[in-house]
Structure 1
Amino acid sequence: MQRGSIAIENVEIPKEENSDPLWSVTRSQSPIIGTAIHDGSHVRKSLRSRYALNEVERLREEDPFTASLIRGLPNQIVFHRSRFEIDLNRSRDQAVYLRPEQAWGLTVWKENLPQSEHRRSLLIHDDYYEMLRFFLDGIVRYHKHFVLLDVHSYNYRRADPDTPTPQDQAPDVNIGTFSMDRERWVHVVEPLMDHFRSFGVGGRRLDVRENVAFHGKGEQTRFVHEQYPGIGCAIAIEFKKIFMDEWTGQPDNSTLRELREALTSAVPLLERVLRSMS
């Protein structure tokens, strides 16, 4: 993987942080993969006193419970660090939030982040994408095609807890397809959207639309489509935070279970579609 323009040098990791997990991987021989790369809220010890934001403020922009949503998928990658340490879904040069405009107008750091800490975070970005390439190469050895479901969540009560974003601007499930060859993968994307629409949450059908609240412009989907053209289909799935209180962080376990079932039950459909492409 290209390291970019920043020179990478050996970085000594303090002993007390050596055991802090970066990510967890579950591997099967199915071609269907789920990722939750914004699920984590952990930050390394050397950064904790540097944040201008507290844990609750950071949690609002993280994607808690997305690891729970993908729990039933055969292949899973869950990132345990906060996006406020390193955002794996940003390009390398934007993956550490140094300025408010990179972080929803939030001032992330009390003072400028030292270059040594910046480098440590960038190394995690490099390591993740090296791991992801190795992981996907293993999937490709067994299958002609794969589908990666890049699962995220988004706030819809951003102004205050009592003022939701209008439904026409905030579907329950937003499917992002910006970086893919849409024509090639139409037989994957559209059946998946229809599948989600067949599910109900809280007594009503899910509102599922494409490229409304988000367009799927993240780094991970771009990486898949660039590195595995015609082989890998990466779909950015943004669940509106109807499964939790985005201000308190409390989950709605019933809705979580229903959304998890919608994802899990998509696996046979997607595997069948991929077999038909062979």
Structure 2
Amino acid sequence: MDRHRVVDFTGPWDGQILATSVHAGHDIRADLQQVMILDEADRLREEDPFTDEIAAAVPSRAITHTSRFEVDLNRPRREAVYRAPEDAWGLRIWRDEVLPDDLFRASLQTWDTFYTALAERLDAVAERGPFVLLHVHSYNHRRPGPDQPAEAVADNPEVNLGTGSVDRSRFGGLVDRFARDLADPELGCGPVDVRENVKFEGRQLAWWVHDRYPRIGCVLALEFKKTFMDEWTGVPDRDAIACARTNLAATLPGLAGELAALS
């Protein structure tokens, strides 16, 4: 990765449906690698590999390659760098336990660069009218161990739809249409268990868009359960990834219709 390019924008960016996958990246800059003691497999398990491939259902995307262990682009700036174990699920990340100040500040610069670049793109989108940003993540459901049963389906939907900061008075119909289409057995690869705000409600990127573009921007934070890969080995299920992408693509016509009605 070119370290001067924190984010790449792909696609035409001439429409009102966009996507991100800010935790898909695995890159760590060289100065951080020298002080990092976290095992790479443990790091990968807490990242969201292959979510960029799911998000590719949307032609216009913001692509990032940086690991969340360098800077977490979906946390508020003050929390975006995991300096100590308590910032990252108790994981020991840095050789001396706490990340030095100079490396901390350099990581914050990446956060600033990302949001500055995204603002430039989204400002132009917002000038044309309402837009939807599909914010694609994934989550673990086998935390007890690789040989232990998966966590209960009742608490772990196939897709958690995070809408905690969405203005439902404005976008409620759009949210409901999206959930119906993603779950529709006649669309995509078949039925999907989609539930709203069961495990996650959306964080920084959604908050930022909704604050910056009130009644214009709508972020749907999508957490795909890691049934499309083995969360312990990192091995992907290519067919499952393709289906997740197909299912997401099947929602785009409905989203376009809802946006047109809002306009």
Pick from 110, 114, 124 the counterpart of residue 124 of structure 1.
110
CA contact (8 A) 1:177 1:210 kept: yes
Whether 1:181 aligns to 2:184 is no
Rounded to whole Å, the distance in 2 between the matches of 1:85 and 1:49 is 12
Quote the offset at 1:166 in angstroms. 0.1
Q: TM-score, normalised by structure 1?
A: 0.89
Quote the residue 1:44 is aligned against: 29
Whether 1:197 aligns to 2:183 is yes
Cα 1:200–1:212 change in 2 (3 A) is farther
CA contact (8 A) 2:178 2:255 kept: yes
Rounded to whole Å, the distance in 2 between the matches of 1:72 and 1:205 is 17
Quote the residue 2:142 is aligned against: 157
CA contact (8 A) 1:30 1:74 kept: no
Pick from 62, 65, 68 the counterpart of residue 77 of structure 1.
62
Rounded to whole Å, the distance in 1 between the matches of 2:137 and 2:4 is 23
**1:133-167 residue CA offsets vs partner (Å, 9 max, x unmatched):** 101012123x2100001100000001112321100
Quote the offset at 1:44 in angstroms. 0.2
Rounded to whole Å, the distance in 2 between the matches of 1:172 and 1:119 is 37
Quote the residue 1:57 is aligned against: 42
CA contact (8 A) 1:198 1:206 kept: yes
Rounded to whole Å, the distance in 1 between the matches of 2:63 and 2:34 is 25
Quote the residue 2:198 is aligned against: 212
Quote the offset at 1:101 in angstroms. 2.1
Rounded to whole Å, the distance in 2 between the matches of 1:200 and 1:83 is 36
The alignment's C-alpha RMSD in Å is: 1.7
Identity of aligned residues (%): 41
CA contact (8 A) 1:21 1:80 kept: no
**Equivalent residue letter for 2:159:** V
Q: TM-score, normalised by structure 2?
A: 0.94
Structure 1: 5+ residue stretches without partners: 1-16
Rounded to whole Å, the distance in 1 between the matches of 2:51 and 2:162 is 16
**1:98-146 residue CA offsets vs partner (Å, 9 max, x unmatched):** 12222111111111211111110001101111111101012123x2100
Cα 1:133–1:19 change in 2 (3 A) is closer
Rounded to whole Å, the distance in 1 between the matches of 2:249 and 2:190 is 19
Cα 1:96–1:270 change in 2 (3 A) is same
Rounded to whole Å, the distance in 2 between the matches of 1:266 and 1:149 is 11
**1:236-271 residue CA offsets vs partner (Å, 9 max, x unmatched):** 000000100000001101111111011122222111
**Equivalent residue letter for 2:27:** H
Larger deviation, residues 160-169 vs 36-45? 160-169
CA contact (8 A) 2:136 2:222 kept: yes
Pick from 61, 65, 81 the counterpart of residue 96 of structure 1.
81
Structure 2: 5+ residue stretches without partners: none
CA contact (8 A) 2:37 2:95 kept: yes
Query: Which 4+ residue blocks in structure 1 deviate beyond 6 angstroms?
Result: none
Whether 1:25 aligns to 2:5 is no
Rounded to whole Å, the distance in 2 between the matches of 1:200 and 1:208 is 15
Rounded to whole Å, the distance in 2 between the matches of 1:136 and 1:277 is 18
Rounded to whole Å, the distance in 1 between the matches of 2:87 and 2:186 is 35
CA contact (8 A) 2:184 2:190 kept: no
CA contact (8 A) 2:83 2:104 kept: no
**Equivalent residue letter for 1:61:** E
Pick from 208, 225, 245 the counterpart of residue 230 of structure 2.
245
**Equivalent residue letter for 1:32:** I
